[in-house]
Chains A and B, each alone.
Chain A
Amino acid sequence: MSVAHTFLGLLESQPRHGYDLKRTYDEAFSPERPLAYGQVYATLARLLKNGLIVVDGVEPGGGPERKRYAITEAGIADVQAWLSQPERPEPYLHNVLYTKVVVALLTGRSATEILDVQRTEHLRLMRELTRRKSSGDLTDQLICDHALFHLEADLRWLELTADRLDDLRARVQRSIQRDDSRPASPRPTTRDNPARRANS
């Protein structure tokens, strides 16, 4: 899953501090495996270097300065390109597709379009397998059947997700409103966050 693209998507919805990005990312996309601070700040450094984000403001304080990041036009174009590109059908694809759908909803893009693009890609591969099956021997047929059933499961999930978009949109909007009304984030200690010393 592309952490960099997800960060860009979150920054397109509103400028955020590094810590806010990590917290939102962990809550929304990876509650089981929170991001390491090192990865957060290394990703932000790379995005800054590539001109996809800028530092929007710096808040001085008792500890390390808190930088607020904002997306650039080049960053928005990068998010758009990522969302428009279908994923290669493979196992456990739901993580990245779910993230794309949420990012699209966060940034006011069409989530339905993402699901449609992915459906087209899945069906393209399913057609290929169906053709291979019809000209192959029994072993080929069994192998293709296995792949076809897995792709079909993905597609059924896509259909169901499309049917649940209204609920998902409402949930995402509630989380944006909650973020907006939340007081400034508590600053992590340098013991929790050794990477901040190097990256802030």
Chain B
Amino acid sequence: MSTASTSALLVATDLRKSYGPTAALAGASVTVRAGEILAVMGPSGSGKSTLLHCLAGIVRPDAGTITYAGRDLTAMSDVDRSALRRSEFGFVFQFGQLIPELTCLENVALPLRLAGVRRREAERRARAWLAQLEVEDVADKLPGTISGGQGQRVAVARSLVTGPRVIFADEPTGALDSLNGEKVMVLLTQAARDTGAAVVLVTHEPRVAAYADREIVVRDGVVHDRLAQAQAQALERVA
């Protein structure tokens, strides 16, 4: 068995998902390996965000299977999938993800509080992550009073606070200027590598995708994975 298959953490096979008459995914397959940073590229409307939502257990595909660490995500109840998302996955979106009524510290501590961690301990860990993302000084501020770049770093801190094995990032720099986007990517990828978390990074920006270890392209709801193609061709040659 190859190294890639032994370290496969999240495996989606032949995913199909339609919204009304529109097929968002038309047989998409992808493997995310433990600790890798995978960029998911593709034009608008190609199905890349739907793929991310399926992989993360937010959206249930119409057909196909998804296994996470050997567990069949598609066969789980909604309650079990929610629990898995809270404990194993982290999320960073383009914007609108911080709760405006909570301070930045409370936002970052929230996933731990939901998991039953006591307030003092949750806030201690949250503060450490804010420091890691170099935004400790905004801990007591409300999200509406800080800059977009700071807000995105707070969101990254929140995605990491539970020690997830996979971080799903959907256009995490989409609303930022080049320098702030770069800062977010450097901190996000560094933190992921330090903790061994895999990152599934949906982006249409090549400079952002260049922070990943490899890329796949989604086109018309199908995944084009040149690495997988090359491996399959090599196997055929051996056979």
A binding-site residues for B, Cβ under 8 Å:
112, 116-117, 119-120, 122-123, 126-127, 129-130, 134, 148-149, 151-152, 155-156, 159, 162-163
Contacts and interface: CB of A to CB of B under 8 A. Distances in A.
A116 B219 CA distance: 11
A127 B210 contact: yes
Given A123-B210, A148-B210, A152-B205, 4 more contacts: A116-B217, A117-B226, A119-B215, A148-B207
Contacts of B210: 123, 126-127, 129-130, 148
Contacts of A149: 207
Given A119-B217, A134-B186, A159-B43, A152 B206 contact: yes
Nearest to B215: A123
Interface of B: 43, 186, 205-207, 209-213, 215, 217, 219, 224, 226
A123 B224 contact: no
Main secondary structure of the interface of B (DSSP, over half): mixed
Contacts of B215: 119-120, 123
**7 closest pairs, A vs B, by CB?**
A126-B210, A155-B206, A130-B210, A152-B206, A127-B210, A120-B226, A152-B207
Contacts of A120: 215, 226
A149 B208 CA distance: 11
Nearest to A149: B207
A156 B215 CA distance: 15
A13 B206 CA distance: 34
A159 B218 CA distance: 12
Nearest to B209: A123
Nearest to B204: A159
A163 B43 contact: yes
Contact of A123 (B43, B186, B206, B219): B206
A126 B39 CA distance: 13
B91 to A, nearest CB: 24
Contacts of B219: 112, 162
Contacts of B224: 116
A130 B217 contact: no
B234 to A, nearest CB: 15
A123 B214 CA distance: 8
A148 B43 CA distance: 20
A15 B4 CA distance: 47
Contact of A156 (B206, B211, B212): B206
A94 to B, nearest CB: 16
B206 A151 contact: yes
Nearest to B226: A120
A148 B213 CA distance: 16
Contacts of B207: 126, 130, 148-149, 152
Contacts of B213: 127
Contact of B226 (A116, A126, A130, A156): A116
A142 to B, nearest CB: 12
A130 B211 contact: yes
A122 B43 CA distance: 17
Contacts of B206: 122-123, 126, 151-152, 155-156
B217 to A, nearest CB: 7
A149 B207 CA distance: 8
Contacts of A134: 186
A116 B224 CA distance: 9
B178 to A, nearest CB: 9
15 contacts: A112-B219, A116-B224, A117-B226, A119-B215, A123-B206, A123-B210, A126-B206, A126-B207, A127-B210, A134-B186, A148-B210, A152-B207, A156-B206, A162-B43, A163-B43
Nearest to B44: A163
Contacts of A129: 210
Contacts of A156: 206
Contacts of A126: 206-207, 209-210
A126 B210 CA distance: 6
